[in-house]
Structure 1
Amino acid sequence: MSQPPNAQQAAYWNEQAGPTWVDMVDPLDRQLAPLGRAAMRALALRPGESVLDVGCGAGATTLQLAEQVGPTGRATGVDISRPLLETARRRAERLANVEFLEADGQSHPFPVAGYDALFSRFGVMFFSEPTAAFANLRRALKPGGRMAFVCWQAPAANPIMTLPMQAALAHVPAPPPAADPTAPGPFAFADADRLRGILDAAGFSGVAVRPHQEKIGSGDLETALTVSLKVGPLGALLRENPDQRDAVIAAVRATLSAHDGPDGVKLDSATWIVTANNPG
């Protein structure tokens, strides 16, 4: 029997990445918050609207969206990671205009024309069938409804994602290159032309992909070091090369310390702010 769409991602975000993100939720929210706000500005929510937050994770963005639409609006977060949703629900337990769904945005039967707006902060790059996923999400938008999300540009443009690994590679072998750079993962939408094509094919109109650059960080040096070692492929490399752990940690700390300042460690990020509409 074949697996359902995104089964591999569901397993990953429930068994591996989800628990790690729960442990690191505050510094990760701190790091990604400025980029989420950039996409929220592009979405320009209004009081009373209903908004769907795709890949909501631990719910920080959903709570911000709920504040923007106010008590007469509604914010719904959807994610496939139960550990992250448990954190999200605890954060929102006293809010009447917030709800969370444990579901796959690629295939979940959302109410047709049920939302005024759709938002995502790095939650839409993991679909196994992105065109079908965005077509499903578009159907959940009202005619004239709008979408805004933020996703990563190429790895080479994102020291925030790659610099710790570069420091570590002086002591451990490089992981094998990705067989398919467009496969589900953080950088699946690095190619802006491919991204436009997916959204056009899914039926969106007025697709715009705007570059956004900003220095971001998770906190002080020790916090940044901990995030670098726990989140992403570097942690796996350390587990595979335990004899080099001390050397890798020293190298990553030295690299990050060069970017430490009054506001903590800040590194360059490069993202796309993507907007589109449901033509109805």
Structure 2
Amino acid sequence: MNEASKRAAMPTGTNAVLDRRNIYNSNSNLLDIVKPGDAVLDVGCGSGSITIGISALVGAGGQVTGIDTSQHLIELAKQHSAGQSNINFEVADINTYLPEKKFNVITSARVLQWVDNPAPVIAKMIQLLDKDGCLTILDYNHEKIQWEPGIPESMQVFYTAFLRWRADAGMDNQIADHLAAIFEQQGLKAITINDLSEKAVKGDPAFAGDLDIWAKVAETRGLQLVKDNYITEELRLAAIADYRRWIDTTASSMTLYLLAVTARV
């Protein structure tokens, strides 16, 4: 297992972030792509919250498969989808995954940001697509995040260390802006780019929960940063407390730069 894979492993508690997502608030791009009867593969499905929404789009005549390398998250996904006959979850790595049939649509959301080899991973996804199949990838450019007003210094130090910790393992902090070029290099056609940046504004019902994602990152991934000597435990705890105080007092907005890049074989 390489360093990126080690650092990408989902720590306990990560599903608290994943479970807030659904196809409408976190991957609405799929609403215009997935059709009734489609066979769909969701790569890096996590706890299945978005995958379950995909199963509603394909209907009884379609089939959705969600794969993830985390046994814990797949178990949660199976619990969340109990009783649904058109959805299946498997513990699997896309790099070695060998399904019995190919897929009409392959989707992967917020996953390639965690790998150090996105081009070969995309190439493998293309191999699993049926004729005229569609590949759609949703991901961030973490260097274009915007907070208004600026976040506390402790959280800024944490966030800078978080990006360095990722980059040192070979992860691309700007992957969203590099996807189209990779698609073109892999020979995909009809490439489209949709800006699905996530903006949370004070007064929105989910405002505090949306902004709190970085406190949760500090609570979970932050432990890894401490272990790897990127930050101190004192800084981690200060970042969490100061950032949550900022949310409750002066925070007005946060924008996460997010692109959906879609193409066909």
Deviation of 1:86 after TM superposition, in Å, equals: 1.2
Instruction: Report the equivalent of 1:270.
Output: 257
2:67 pairs with one of 49, 70, 78 = 78
- Residues 1:143 and 2:136 are matched in the alignment: no
Question: CA RMSD, aligned part only?
Answer: 3.6
1:201 lines up with 2:185 in the alignment: yes
Structure 1 stretches of at least 4 aligned residues deviating more than 6 Å after TM superposition: 170-173
2:47 is aligned to 58
C-alpha distance in structure 2 between counterparts of 1:29 and 1:185, whole Å: 24
Equivalent position of 1:168 in the other structure: 154
Deviation of 1:34 (Å): 5.0
1:235–1:8 distance in 2 versus 1, CA, 3 Å: closer
Residue 93 to residue 185, structure 1, CA distance change in 2 (3 Å): farther
Change (3 A) 1:220 1:9: same
**Where does 1:211-230 land on structure 2 (aligned, <5 Å)?**
211-216=195-200, 219=206, 221=208, 224=212, 226-230=215-219
Q: C-alpha displacement at 1:233, in angstroms? A: 4.0
Letter in 1 for 2:196: H
Contact kept? 1:125, 1:184, Cα under 8 Å: no
Partners of 2:250 and 2:22 in 1: CA distance? 17
2:116 aligned with 1:132: no
The aligned amino acid for 1:100 is: F
- Tell me which of 232, 248, 251 is aligned to 1:257: 248
Give 1:168 shift: 1.5
Find the aligned partners of 1:174 and 1:273 in 2 and give their Cα distance: 25
Conserved? CA contact 1:181–1:187, under 8 Å: yes
Distance (whole Å) between structure 2 residues aligned to residue 108 and residue 178 of structure 1: 30
TM-score, with length taken from structure 2: 0.78
Which of 137, 156, 170 is the equivalent residue of 2:144?
156
Tell me: CA distance 1:235–1:256, structure 2 relative to 1, closer, same or farther (3 Å).
farther
Structure 1 length-normalised TM = 0.75
The more displaced of 168-177 and 204-213 is 168-177
1:159 Cα deviation after fit? 3.9
Count of matched residue pairs = 257
Residue 243 (structure 1) shift:
4.1
- Aligned match of 1:116: 104
- Give the % identical residues: 19
Q: Distance in 2 between matches of 1:182 and 1:75?
A: 35
Q: Aligned to 1:229, what secondary structure does the other structure show?
A: helix
How far has the Cα of 1:230 moved from its partner? 1.8
Residue matched to 2:76: 87
Deviation of 1:88 after TM superposition, in Å, equals 0.7
Deviation of residue 63 (structure 1)? Answer: 0.3
Match of 2:20 in 1: 30
Aligned partners of 2:220 and 2:173: how far apart in 1? 15
Structure 1: gaps (5+ residues): none
Maintained 8 Å contact 1:209/1:275:
yes
CA offsets per residue over residues 199-246 of structure 1, 9 Å max, x none?
122232122223233314995748927525324448745995344566
For structure 2, list consecutive stretches of 5 or more residues without a partner in the other structure. Answer: none
Give the whole-Å Cα distance in 2 for the aligned partners of 1:169 and 1:133. Answer: 32
